[in-house]
């Protein structure tokens, strides 16, 4: 069964925005994902991307995550962290050794705690 792609944006009072991704992150959904992440970056707030409900990630999805992480890094105003990776996403991150380039945490709470400590 094909799962619809959804993005849930939650603004926390501590200046962190949670983006909960649900569905396949592929060539079809990656542009919408990047657009939402760019919109969040323009606020200057930190971003936590929850990928626990992503059953499949394609190369376009990996590229989108890397582009977002790179954009936040270059801007230097705010940070982005990944949280609660699904098994599918975790396998790809491990296979490609993306832990070297991405900030990954086991949960949203861990990501938020790390961002607050860095501030």
* pLDDT tens string 30-57: 999 999 999 999 999 999 999 999 999 9
CB-based contacts of 50: which residues, under 8 Å, 6+ apart?
18, 19, 20, 21, 83, 84, 108
Q: What is the pLDDT of residues 108-117, one digit of tens each?
A: 999 999 998 8
What CA–CA distance (Å, rounded) separates 98 from 28? 22
The chain-wide mean pLDDT, for the chain, equals 94
List the beta bridge partners of residue 105. 83
Is the model's pLDDT at 86 over the cut of 60?
Answer: yes
- CATH topology for 6-108 is Transcription Regulator spoIIAA (3.30.750)
Higher per-residue confidence, 76 vs 55? 55
Residues whose CB is less than 8 angstroms from the CB of residue 40 and which lie 6 or more positions away in sequence, other chains included: 9, 17, 19, 47
Q: Look up the pTM and report it.
A: 0.94
Domain ranges of the chain: 6-108
CA distance 71 to 48: 14
| 117 and 14 Cβ atoms separated by less than 8 Å | no
């Amino acid at each position: 069964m094909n799962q619809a792609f959804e993005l849930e944006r939650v603004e926390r009072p501590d200046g962190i925005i949670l983006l909960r991704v649900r569905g396949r992150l592929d060539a079809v959904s990656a542009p919408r994902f990047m657009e939402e992440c760019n919109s969040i970056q323009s606020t200057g707030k930190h971003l936590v991307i929850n990928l626990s409900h992503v059953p499949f990630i394609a190369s376009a999805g990996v590229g989108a995550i890397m582009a977002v992480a790179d954009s936040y890094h270059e801007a230097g105003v705010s940070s982005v962290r990944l949280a609660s990776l699904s098994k599918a996403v975790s396998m790809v991150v491990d296979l490609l050794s993306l832990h070297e380039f991405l900030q990954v945490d086991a949960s949203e709470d861990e990501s938020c705690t790390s961002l607050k400590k860095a501030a």
